[in-house]
């Protein structure tokens, strides 16, 4: 019944069309200002957009994962993570287990990519793997899987390509205006005052366009985050898992090294969030974490209707976040109990060790345990046949 969410994306579609209109506008203005011909500008805008769309559609995933420095893992690399992803795949009714990537970064974050559910992937940071217990990890993965299931990934890819095109065109337009502006204004000075006003308006609009496009982009992204939280609670039947994961994420201070403005909305929480500062509502890709936690914790059951009820309590009746078609199919679902995992100190060190072992292994390092108990990490570029233990001096064969 969750695919119904997809069929009710009217608001998102309207916003995407809004961005498209901004793109047309900027193309038109480019034409007017530089070529004295609106069509020329429109053609350029379309060409840039077309090329970026093609690249984004076919190469977007690998570019994004490559930029984040993500490495693909299999079941044996980290059985628990693999199992959790598989569990959420089953709960959501996806047909294929998404590829799983790990980003070597102490920051706590995760994201999903893929133009269709068959070609999807989830990526999580090693910090997250290390800090979260099973239930919390399940909540985060549930959130990412629902981005895939609800086709948010595709929607965000389309909008980020639109945004990118608008930003690029506006950037070059302003550059050229400063370089070639003099010649242009001298030529047009004979055209009279009316043309100068049009030119001024065009320049202002070109400068404003990327900002407007960005605001629309943020609006789309925020809405999808709430929806993904609601779906995660439904899949796991345990909203507390995601809530407590978000709490840990909010408390951590490290920022993600590899994120940038364009990729920010892909993440579970905004990677640029500054500590102790509530992002203003319009310019944030993600809703405030504290509010997301509050909604999740106040849920009486696990259904979409339960989430909607709490959301309306926070935002006012009538401002729903769950599409009506999905609500109509929502039926009462009860919450489950917490998982059996005890979060003891011993457990935490063990988890930290497992995660760091995994990261070394993914980097093709060889691990040799010396007889004295010291673990030696041998880099893949090491050519020798033996390595001396720095602790006890024994020579170990590689």
Partner 1 sequence: MIAVWVIIGIVVVLLVIFIAIYNRLVGWRNQVKNAWAQIDVQLKRRYDLIPNLMETVKGYMKHERGTMEAVTKARNLAQQMASAGAGERAKAEGELSSALARLLAVVENYPDLKANQNFLALQEELTSTENKISFSRQYYNDSVLKYNNQIQMFPSNTVAGMTGFKAGEFFEVTAEEERKAPKVSFT
**Tokens representing 112?**
């999903």
Q: How far is the CB of 325 from partner 1 (least distance, A)?
A: 13
Residue 88 or 264: which CB sits closer to partner 1? Answer: 88
Minimum gap (Å) between residue 150 Cβ and partner 1: 16
Question: Looking at beta carbons only, is 140 or 170 nearer to partner 1?
Answer: 140
351 binds partner 1 (CB under 8 A): no
Residue selected from 16, 45, 91, 120 as contacting partner 1 according to rule CB under 8 A: 91
Q: Does 191 bind partner 1 (CB under 8 A)?
A: no
Length of the chain as a residue count: 398
Asked if 7 is part of the footprint of partner 1 (rule: CB under 8 A), the reply reads no
Asked if 297 contacts 233 with a C-beta cutoff of 8 angstroms, the reply is: no
Of residues 90 and 215, the one with the C-beta less far from partner 1: 90
Closest to partner 1 by CB, 154 or 234: 234
**Shortest approach of partner 1 to residue 9 CB, angstroms?**
20
Q: Give yes or no for residue 51 binding partner 1 (CB under 8 A).
A: no
Q: Which of 14, 55, 67, 90 touches partner 1 by CB under 8 A?
A: 90
Give the DSSP H/E element, type plus range, for residue 27: helix 10-30
Asked if 88 is part of the footprint of partner 1 (rule: CB under 8 A), the reply reads: yes
Question: Which residues touch 222 (CB under 8 Å, ≥6 apart)?
Answer: 284, 285, 286, 287
Which of 6, 119, 237, 361: binder of partner 1 (CB under 8 A)? 237
Give CA–CA dist 240/133, Å, rounded. Answer: 12
Nearer to partner 1 among residue 140 and residue 216 (C-beta): 140
Nearest 10 degrees: Cα torsion 158, 164, 166, 171: 180
Check if the beta carbon of residue 113 is closer than 8 Å to that of residue 121. Answer: yes
Q: Which of 93, 191, 332, 379 binds partner 1 (CB under 8 A)?
A: 93
Choosing from 47, 58, 59, 79, the residue that interacts with partner 1 (CB under 8 A) is 79
Q: Which of 38, 52, 69, 87 binds partner 1 (CB under 8 A)?
A: 87
Q: Which residue is catalytic, options 3, 87, 144, 371?
A: 144
Residues within window 306-345 making contact with partner 1, judged by CB under 8 A: 329, 331, 336, 339-340
State in angstroms the smallest separation of the CB of 151 from partner 1. Answer: 18
Q: Give one DSSP letter per residue of 132-189, joined into a string.
A: --HHHHHHHHHHHHHHHHTTHHHHHHHHHHHHHHHHHHHHHHHHHHHHHHHHHHHHHG
| Cβ atoms 242, 232 nearer than 8 A | yes
Minimum CB distance to partner 1, residue 138 (Å): 8
Binding test (CB under 8 A) with partner 1, winner from 35, 58, 59, 80:
80
> Which one, 183 or 337, has the nearer CB to partner 1?
337
Return the closest-CA partner of residue 115 out of 89, 152, 84: 152
Phi, psi (5° rounding) for residue 333?
Answer: -130, 135
The answer to whether residue 29 forms part of the interface with partner 1 (CB under 8 A) is no
Least distance from C-beta 245 to partner 1, angstroms?
17
Pick 235 or 267: Cβ nearer partner 1: 235
Q: Tell me the C-alpha distance between 222 and 87, whole Å.
A: 26
The 10 Å CB-count burial string (b at 16+, else e) for 319-356 is eebbbeebbeebeeeebeeeeeeeeeeeeeeebeeebe
- Taking CB under 8 A as the binding criterion, the range among 83-91, 98-106, 162-170, 210-218 that sits at the site for partner 1 is 83-91
Distances (CA, A) of 176 to 35, 51, 194, 203, 391: 12, 22, 22, 11, 63
Strand positions, DSSP E, 215-372: 366-369
Number of residues that bind partner 1 (CB under 8 A): 20
Q: Assign 112 to helix, strand or coil.
A: strand
- Give Cα 46 distance to the centre of its chain: 26
Specify whether 275 is catalytic: no
d(CA 367, CA 369) in angstroms, rounded, equals 7
Which are the catalytic amino acids? 144
Positions that interact with partner 1 (CB under 8 A): 1, 79-80, 83-84, 86-88, 90-93, 134, 235, 237, 329, 331, 336, 339-340
């Amino acid at each position: 019944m969750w695919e119904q969410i997809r069929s009710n994306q009217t608001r998102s579609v309207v916003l995407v069309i809004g961005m498209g209109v901004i793109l047309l506008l900027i193309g038109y203005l480019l034409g007017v200002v530089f070529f004295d011909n609106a069509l020329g500008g429109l053609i350029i805008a379309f060409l840039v957009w077309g090329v970026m769309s093609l690249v984004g559609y076919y190469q977007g995933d690998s570019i994004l994962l490559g930029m984040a420095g993500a490495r693909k893992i299999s079941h044996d690399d980290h059985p628990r993570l693999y199992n959790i992803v598989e569990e959420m795949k089953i709960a959501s009714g996806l047909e294929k287990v998404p590829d799983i990537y790990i980003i070597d970064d102490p920051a706590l974050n995760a994201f999903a990519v893929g133009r269709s559910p068959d070609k999807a992937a989830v990526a999580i940071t090693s910090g997250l793997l290390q800090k979260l217990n099973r239930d919390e990890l399940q909540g985060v993965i549930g959130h990412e899987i629902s981005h895939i299931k609800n086709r948010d990934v595709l929607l965000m890819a389309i909008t980020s390509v639109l945004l990118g095109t608008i930003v690029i065109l506006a950037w070059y337009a302003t550059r050229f205006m400063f370089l070639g502006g003099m010649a242009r204004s001298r030529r047009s000075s004979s055209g009279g005052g009316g043309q100068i006003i049009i030119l001024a308006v065009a320049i202002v609009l070109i400068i404003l366009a990327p900002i407007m496009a960005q605001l629309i982009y943020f609006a789309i992204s925020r809405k999808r985050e709430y929806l993904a939280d609601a779906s995660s609670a439904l899949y796991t039947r345990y909203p507390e898992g995601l809530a407590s994961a978000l709490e840990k994420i909010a408390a951590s201070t490290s920022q993600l090294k590899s994120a940038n403005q364009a990729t920010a909305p892909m993440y579970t929480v905004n990677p640029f969030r500054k500590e102790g500062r509530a992002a203003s509502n319009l310019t944030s890709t993600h809703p405030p974490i504290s509010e997301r936690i509050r909604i999740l914790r106040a849920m009486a059951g696990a259904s979409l209707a339960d989430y909607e009820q709490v959301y309306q309590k926070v935002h006012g009746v009538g401002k729903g976040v769950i599409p009506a078609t999905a609500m109509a199919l929502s039926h009462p679902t009860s919450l489950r109990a917490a998982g059996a995992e005890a979060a003891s100190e011993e457990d935490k060190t063990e988890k930290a060790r497992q995660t760091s072992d995994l990261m070394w292994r993914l980097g093709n390092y060889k691990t040799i345990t010396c007889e004295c108990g010291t673990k030696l990490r041998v880099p893949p570029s090491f050519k020798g046949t033996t390595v001396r233990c720095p602790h006890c001096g024994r020579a170990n064969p590689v």
